Amino acid sequence: MNLDLPLILTLAVLVTGGIWLFDSLVLARPRKAKLAAVEQQFQQMDVAEQHKNAAYQTAKSAAGQEPFLVEYAKSFFPVLFVVFFLRSFLVEPFQIPSGSMIPTLQVGDFILVNKFAYGIRVPVLNKTFIPVDSPKRGDVMVFFPPHHPKTYFIKRVIGLPGDEISYVNHVLTINGQVVPEKLQAMLPVGAPELRLVTETLDGKEFTAYKHLVPGYLSVRGAWKVPAGHYFMMGDNRDNSADSRDWGFVSEDAIVGKAFAVWMHWEEFFSIPSFDHVGVVQ
């Protein structure tokens, strides 16, 4: 079962903030009245100063004691709100769970995703209410795929709304123009043999893995990207379930643009590495 973390965080902020607000408007009044009574009582007392101070502090603490639920809410709300604001509108960290974006991103890479690159969105509903920019071909984007609407995926933007895409035997064509490819190396790592290539898409150069013999998703396909949708592909072309398999990504399913790798930590008991940090190409 996939947890809806944005929804859980939003509810936590609303509940703790609501408790704090209710205390300020309702529950705090009796406490203030009790504190005022304590002040008045001790102003009239004629006892030794040391004894008076100790008794005063005890009475004041008892009169102003907050319910434990209010104490917890006031403690957690500021932290939850800061986390909520950062991950909803600015930057959110993710870990790469699969090899679909190799060689650009490795399994275990921790990346940072710009949440406002494509517009400020309403948390949970994910609707844009302040437009900023739109995805560009070649961007590495985090999104919710149509077949798993609560699971984060990361792929490269290949097709924009209205584009005509074809992918035939590893040759990518967009609107009748073949995307340039340059062979970098042959990698005989077992079977099947791999080609490491660079592709240049709208002036953006990136690397990709392609089997010497195209996989079933790389043999033949043609698509017309509908309005408000995007065509996504993994850089590990023959080991990526993407738009060639499950279709287009809706504008409302966009999470943000991946822009940096800040750590690599593949397994819990392994040692984190910072050799792979840098800007996502």
* DSSP assignment of 115-172: SSTT-EE-TTT--EEE------TT-EEEE--TT-TTS-EEEEEEE-TT-EEEEETTEE
pLDDT classification of 191: cutoffs 50, 70, 90? low
Neighbour-count burial of 35, counting CB atoms closer than 10 A to its CB (0-12 exposed, 13-18 middle, 19+ buried):
middle
Q: What percent of the chain has pLDDT over 70?
A: 93
Distance CA(116)–CA(114), nearest Å, equals 6
Asked if the model's pLDDT at residue 52 lies above 70, the reply is no
Q: Which of 24, 32, 98, 100 is catalytic?
A: 100
* pLDDT average, residue stretch 213-231: 96
Question: One of 88, 115, 155, 218 is an active-site residue; which one?
Answer: 155
Average pLDDT over residues 64-84: 85
Is 243 known to be catalytic? no
> With 80 as the cut, is the pLDDT of residue 86 above it?
no
* Confidence category of residue 1, pLDDT binned at 50, 70, 90: very low
pLDDT computed for residue 175 by the predictor: 98
The pLDDT confidence band at residue 92, using thresholds 50, 70 and 90, is: confident
Handedness of CA 133, 135, 138, 140 (dihedral sign): positive
User: Structure tokens of 176?
Assistant: 């009748």
Confidence category of residue 81, pLDDT binned at 50, 70, 90: confident
Fold topology of 96-279: Umud Fragment, subunit A (2.10.109)
**Statement: residue 46 has pLDDT above 70:** no
Per-residue pLDDT, averaged over 67-74, amounts to 88
- Helices and strands, number each (H, E), in the chain: 5, 17
- The torsion of the CA quartet 238, 242, 248, 250, rounded to 10 degrees, works out to -150
Residue 272 to residue 125: CA distance in whole angstroms: 34
The C-alpha atoms of residue 244 and residue 166 are separated, in whole angstroms, by 10
- For residue 74, pLDDT over 50 is answered with yes
Domain ranges for the chain = 5-88, 96-279
- The single residue listed with the structure tokens 């396909």 is 221
Task: Tell me the C-alpha distance between 18 and 12, whole Å.
Answer: 10
Which of 226, 229, 236 lies closest to 199, judged by CA? 236
Q: How far is CA 57 from the centre of its chain?
A: 48
> pLDDT tens, 107-164?
999 999 998 899 887 777 777 777 889 999 999 999 999 988 788 999 999 999 999 9
Q: How confident is the model at residue 82 (pLDDT cuts 50, 70, 90)?
A: confident
Tell me: pLDDT of 200 over 80. Answer: yes
Is-catalytic flag, 155?
A: yes
pLDDT at 49: 61
Residues facing 177 on adjacent strands: 174
Q: Which residues pair with 254 in a beta bridge?
A: 143
Instruction: Please state, for a pLDDT cut of 90, what percent of the chain lies above it.
Output: 48
How far, CA to CA in Å, does 198 sit from each of 176, 181, 183, 206, 261?
20, 6, 7, 5, 20
Closest to 265 in 3D by CA, of 113, 92, 96: 96
In the predicted model, what is the mean pLDDT of residues 210-222? 94
Q: What is the mean pLDDT of the chain?
A: 87
